[in-house]
Structure 1
């Protein structure tokens, strides 16, 4: 294993200190317990809080700031944050309008956020993101929350910034979740520092279709194919899931898992744009880059969100975070 670190045990704390210093104009870092919060709270605004295991950066800490999250709770690598982190963050950023938790659908995340919500002495609500269509709808643990989480956090963040109340922010988040589907493909596994070796083995001529973001294997292993065929397979599953009508406006998000260069991600975007446009869909908005990563995994996911005028306007609204920034 070759990684830039002194010790797996100190990786997260040192990284968080570096992140906070690099973006000191946007965020503050609190320790014992760890959470990142927005530099300046906006009185009377619904506070948005998310979090999860580290290793997915810039999700979630990179999305703290104007127009997105008010706080993010980072757990250890691929490990859920604890309820005390979530509670402390919520108490810090709540300004009287209540707290909305945005939670990826993993058992540990859901359980710990539920515990924090029960302990929190202010109005609160939760949106659970389950955009990964690699798993069937009736899967025992439900569908996982993956790259669509970025879309939810951006759109709901804009709604909260515009003054929507807690119930409206929750309803907006649930609408975005219902309009969003994602699926990922990996060419390599990832290496968790504390483990020291890849989480699964994959041959040089193979790919994993339907991977998670914690080093989980996909729903099937296949021989690597030309990019056009990979995109057609993944985008085809997404379209089958969402069943959009002809002429539907969409947001297309091509997300890298941490080890795929932008030249390949933009190639995939072009191929996905061609595929979706060829099926009568109007790609109105886009996001390309490494936003929901899996450490050093080579691979990508495609995410499609069905847009209407309101969702498009909220996506376009100004945002100022470490990882997303426009209109400010």
Structure 2
């Protein structure tokens, strides 16, 4: 294992500390318990947005803390849910009296720990709503979750719900926007190689040199099947067909196309995937109105990508275009 680390046990602490130093104008890092808030939190009269999950998926979630997106992010150990003892103070720190929305990826640990934190926050008088993200079409169940996993669509939920909160929407309205995005986005991913969790020191799953895993999860969970390596267009079609089928995209519709890197894939290759995906969507009579390409929800150094498609309407497009200023996503400011 070759990694730019000091001690596997201190990876998350040192990474979050470095993130806070690098982006001191945007965020405040609290070390014990560990969480990240936007610099101006709590924002008076604004609904707070809190998300979190295991580390190793950077820039998710801390990279999306700031104007127009999250108010707080709670990082757990690598591929491990944050604890209620972290989530509760993060929630309280961003509560301005308008309530707080928890955006939770559908993994058992995340769901249970955010549930517990929500109950504790409500006991302290904070009104909580939860948006559960479950956009992965690859599998229905796994060892990590009951139902579909929350993957690339999480970024889109956080951006659009964050814009709704920033414009002053009510607690219920922000949660409803988040649910609407989740209902209209689907994702599927592929792994070309495994990743290595620092404290494990060895690859998290096995793939032969000429083999890829279709439908992989962001923690290395099994996908639909392993197949021999093929060209980019073939892999793109294998990912995109189930996404479009499950979403029921028809001619005349407008979509956002998001090609996400898993951490170890060059941007040049992600654009090759985007090229094919945009071509297929156009051939099916839909229009790609908005796009996002890059490493936004990763799996350490895994080579591979995911494709997300979000059905757009005028309001969702307007909220996507709204100003955002975070470490990892910024425009319009």
Give TM-score scaled by structure 1 length.
0.98
Displacement after TM superposition at 1:256 (Å): 0.3
Does the 8 Å contact 2:62/2:74 carry over to 1? yes
- State whether structure 2 residue 82 is matched by structure 1 residue 81: yes
- State whether structure 2 residue 155 is matched by structure 1 residue 128: no
**Aligned pairs, number:** 328
- Matched with 1:64 is 65
In the alignment, the residues of structure 2 paired with residue 137 and residue 4 of structure 1 have an alpha-carbon distance, to the nearest angstrom, of 34
In the alignment, the residues of structure 1 paired with residue 3 and residue 162 of structure 2 have an alpha-carbon distance, to the nearest angstrom, of 34
Displacement after TM superposition at 1:239 (Å): 0.8
In the alignment, the residues of structure 2 paired with residue 188 and residue 322 of structure 1 have an alpha-carbon distance, to the nearest angstrom, of 27
Displacement after TM superposition at 1:244 (Å): 1.6
Correspondence list, 1:28-67, <5 A: 28-41=28-41, 42-67=43-68
Unpaired runs of at least 5, structure 2: none
- Matched with 2:166 is 161
Displacement after TM superposition at 1:217 (Å): 2.4
Displacement after TM superposition at 1:265 (Å): 0.4
Unpaired runs of at least 5, structure 1: none
- Matched with 1:104 is 105
In the alignment, the residues of structure 2 paired with residue 266 and residue 245 of structure 1 have an alpha-carbon distance, to the nearest angstrom, of 24
Q: Aligned with 1:251: secondary structure? A: strand
In the alignment, the residues of structure 2 paired with residue 175 and residue 135 of structure 1 have an alpha-carbon distance, to the nearest angstrom, of 21
- Matched with 1:222 is 227
Q: Which moved more, 1:314-323 or 1:6-15?
A: 6-15
Correspondence list, 1:2-21, <5 A: 2-21=2-21
Q: CA RMSD in A?
A: 1.2
Correspondence list, 1:250-289, <5 A: 250-289=255-294
Give TM-score scaled by structure 2 length.
0.97
- State whether structure 2 residue 181 is matched by structure 1 residue 176: yes
- Matched with 1:201 is 206
Displacement after TM superposition at 1:138 (Å): 11
In the alignment, the residues of structure 1 paired with residue 169 and residue 85 of structure 2 have an alpha-carbon distance, to the nearest angstrom, of 27
Does the 8 Å contact 2:140/2:146 carry over to 1? no
In the alignment, the residues of structure 1 paired with residue 142 and residue 220 of structure 2 have an alpha-carbon distance, to the nearest angstrom, of 22
Displacement after TM superposition at 1:79 (Å): 0.4
In the alignment, the residues of structure 2 paired with residue 169 and residue 143 of structure 1 have an alpha-carbon distance, to the nearest angstrom, of 22
